[in-house]
Structure formats: C-alpha cells, structure tokens
C-alpha cells in the first residue's frame, strides 16, 4: 500500500456526468460511484481525499475565475497532500492546466489534470483508466509540475491542446515531447520534466475575464472586425495569423488600426493557427508588418497558454509595457527558452 495521500479535486466534466433528457449533465452521487470504482484497487493506490465542488460544471462554462478557484484550493491543501488530481472537463482542460501552471510556480509535487471522453458509469468509458493512472502519477516523487494525463499520455499542461473531439486520444502537445507514456509500465521521460524548484512561488491574483480577445484571421476578413474587437476595450488582442504568424498587408488599413491600438496601450500578441512550429514575424513581409505595428510573437506557445498567461500577467497588475517584456519570459516551461 502506498503511503502517499493525494487530493482529488472534482470540478465537473464528462467524467462525472450521467445521461439526462437534455444530454450528459453532472451526476449527483459522484463520491459513491468513485469509491465503488476505487475500492477493488485500493491496495495499489495512494490514499485520497475527495474535494467535490458543490456545483460541478461542464468545462465549456468555465471562466478564468474558475481557474483561480482551483489554484487557490490546491494552494490551501498543498502541505497536507503529496500530490493532486484535478478532475475536469476536456473542452477547456488545456486552458485550466495552463493557468494552474502560471499560478502554481515552483511546484514540488505533481498536479495532474484529467477527465474522460465517456462518463464513468458508461460502457467503454475511458474514465477509470485515466483516473487510476492519474492518481498513481500524482503520487510520484519525480513530477513537480502541472500535467495533463489522458489516454496513456502525460503531457505538460501548458503545452497541451485538445486535438480530438471524438477520439479517446483527445490531447497532444505538438511543440513538446510527452512527459510519460503509460503502457504496461509507467515510463517517465525524465529528461523533459521540469526540474524540482528550490521552493514554491504561488501567485493566485484575482483573475478577470473578457479583456483578452482572440482575432482569428480568415481570407478576406474585413478590418472592421478587428476594429469592432478593439471597440470592446480589450487589454490584449491575440492575433491568430497564418503559418509563421502572418496577417494580410495588402492595404495599410489593418496596420493603421493595429498601430493605433498598440499606441493606446493594447498588448498585441501574434500567434499561429498552425498547431506545430513557432512564430517568426521577421520571415515574411506580412509578419514584419505586425512587428512594426507593435505586436510581439508568441514563440512556440499554445493558444491556451498565451490566453492564460496574458490573464495571469494582467491580474498581477503589470502595465502593457511590462507585459510585453514578461510575456516572452518562460514561467513554467510553456515556451522554448
């Protein structure tokens, strides 16, 4: 029997849902279903304490304040437990995992986020396997970071993205190697894990929402759409361009709008619609235009990490100028330094 004691934080998601007339919705007796599932294997598992949210949510409904709540709940229990499993919906799991990695810096214990594609009680559910392995990983002495465990893969949380709505293999980390593979053995890829920090540095400032807005470019998109976004008074725009981060430069209207936004203090971040690779704004004239407008390239960060990192830096009260500098510094392994 493992002497480890982990905390299971149940926030919602398909893993804890059951069928209703309107489709899957959070089930009522999650704790009982969980203990029935785990009882037969308890000898091989760490001890756990369940912390069940009173109103579990479909993660589609999550807002940045929910990320902050989870981080604060982990921080409050940090010294009582050897590791943490966060049960969460898959839809926005990568956003939450990214945000947790920025709030819970310098972790010296594992925080494993998991969920499932099919609810716990359904036939062919992936919930039990994901949960059981996540719990074992949460008892590991070698992991000191926020990671997503899903269908035999352990991925860095702030490098992961949901790549499939229907496959059991719902997540990947296109710009970073998997941290572990769970086949017959649990094989950790030690060389790519975050080294254990000298000490924790938790920052859980009050997160706001609605001020970091995405603009996804499509061929022929009117510049007025970008202006309409700016009229919503954002603190930052994430410009999802093509390939290396390119956006159209055929006429100067887009440049003028972006330059004005930059001068008025909006943080402009350029990223790519491509899942793999990194932003290089100097490669094409269409990318250089963004640089001259004042945008910064998001290097090889995922969209989810960019979004969460901007929320984090704004919540810390930084100015636009400070954020432009801090954004390109690595916090928790989210970018290639």
Binding site residue list for substrate: 59, 90-91
| 140 touches ligand ASN (CB under 6 A) | no
Q: Indicate the residue whose CB is closest to ligand ASN.
A: 89
Q: Which residues contact 325 (CB under 8 A, 6 or more apart)?
A: none
Q: CB 246 → ligand ASN: shortest distance, Å?
A: 32
- By beta-carbon proximity to ligand ASN, the closer residue of 117 and 175 is 117
8 A C-beta contact, residue 238 and residue 278 = no
8 A C-beta contact, residue 33 and residue 120 = yes
| 117 touches ligand ASN (CB under 6 A) | yes
| 5-12 and 83-87 beta bridge pairing | parallel
How many C-beta neighbours within 10 Å does residue 240 have?
A: 21
| 114 touches ligand ASN (CB under 6 A) | no
Structure tokens at 166: 């229907």
The three-class DSSP label of residue 258 is helix
8 A C-beta contact, residue 8 and residue 49 = yes
Q: CB 215 → ligand ASN: shortest distance, Å?
A: 24
Cα–Cα dist 84/7, whole Å: 5
| 60 touches ligand ASN (CB under 6 A) | yes
Buried b (16+ CB within 10 A) or exposed e, 78-89: beebbbbbbbbb
| 122 touches ligand ASN (CB under 6 A) | no
- Only one of the segments 12-20, 28-36, 149-157, 241-249 lies at the binding site for ligand ASN (rule: CB under 6 A); that segment is 12-20
Give the one residue of 66, 82, 91, 300 binding ligand ASN; rule: CB under 6 A: 91
| 115 touches ligand ASN (CB under 6 A) | yes
Does residue 14 carry a catalytic annotation?
yes
Structure tokens at 167: 């496959």
Does residue 204 carry a catalytic annotation?
no
Cα–Cα dist 287/248, whole Å: 9
- Only one of the segments 75-83, 88-96, 123-131, 213-221 lies at the binding site for ligand ASN (rule: CB under 6 A); that segment is 88-96
| 89 touches ligand ASN (CB under 6 A) | yes
Which residues, 156 to 185, sit near ligand ASN by CB under 6 A? none
Q: Tokens 């949901």 label which residue?
A: 162
- By beta-carbon proximity to ligand ASN, the closer residue of 87 and 295 is 87
Cα–Cα dist 104/37, whole Å: 30
| 304 touches ligand ASN (CB under 6 A) | no
- The single residue of 11, 90, 92, 204 carrying the catalytic annotation is 90
Please compute Rg for the chain using Cα positions. Answer: 21
- By beta-carbon proximity to ligand ASN, the closer residue of 10 and 84 is 10
| 20 touches ligand ASN (CB under 6 A) | no
| 58 touches ligand ASN (CB under 6 A) | yes
- By beta-carbon proximity to ligand ASN, the closer residue of 82 and 126 is 126
Q: Which parts are annotated binding residues?
A: 59, 90-91
8 A C-beta contact, residue 181 and residue 171 = no
**CA dist 41 to 9, 126, 129, 211, Å?**
20, 16, 12, 46
| 13 touches ligand ASN (CB under 6 A) | yes
Catalytic residues: 14, 90
User: Where along the sequence are the contacts to ligand ASN (CB under 6 A)?
Assistant: 12-14, 58-60, 89-91, 115, 117
């Amino acid at each position: 029997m493992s002497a480890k004691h982990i905390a299971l934080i149940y926030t919602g998601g398909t893993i804890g849902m059951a069928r209703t007339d309107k489709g899957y919705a959070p089930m009522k007796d999650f704790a009982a279903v969980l203990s029935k599932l785990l009882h037969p294997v308890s000898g091989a598992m760490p001890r756990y304490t369940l912390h069940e949210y009173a109103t579990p949510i479909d993660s589609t409904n999550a807002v940045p304040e929910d990320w902050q709540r989870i981080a604060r709940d982990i921080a409050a229990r940090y010294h009582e437990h050897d590791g943490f499993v966060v049960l969460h919906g898959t839809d926005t799991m990568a956003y939450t995992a990214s945000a947790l990695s920025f709030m819970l810096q310098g972790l010296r214990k594992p925080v494993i986020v998991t969920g499932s594609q099919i609810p716990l009680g359904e036939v062919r559910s992936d919930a039990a396997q994901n949960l059981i392995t996540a719990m074992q990983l949460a008892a590991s002495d070698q992991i000191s970071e926020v990671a997503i465990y899903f269908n035999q893969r352990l991925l860095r949380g702030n490098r992961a993205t949901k790549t499939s709505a229907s496959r059991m293999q719902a997540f990947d980390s296109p710009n970073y190697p998997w941290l572990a593979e769970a086949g017959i053995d649990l094989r950790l890829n030690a060389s790519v894990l975050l080294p254990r920090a000298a000490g924790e540095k938790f920052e859980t400032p009050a997160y706001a929402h609605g001020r970091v807005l995405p603009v996804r470019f499509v061929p022929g998109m009117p510049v007025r759409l970008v202006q309409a976004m700016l009229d919503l008074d954002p603190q930052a725009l994430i410009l999802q361009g093509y390939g290396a981060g390119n956006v159209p430069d055929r006429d100067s209207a887009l440049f003028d709008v972006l330059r004005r936004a930059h001068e008025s203090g909006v943080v402009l971040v350029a990223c790519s619609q491509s899942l793999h690779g990194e932003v290089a704004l100097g490669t094409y004239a269409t990318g250089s235009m963004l640089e001259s407008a004042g945008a910064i390239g998001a290097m090889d960060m995922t969209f989810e990490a960019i979004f969460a990192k901007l929320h984090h830096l704004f919540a810390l009260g930084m100015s636009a100028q400070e954020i432009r500098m801090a954004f390109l510094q690595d916090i928790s392994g989210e970018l290639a330094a």
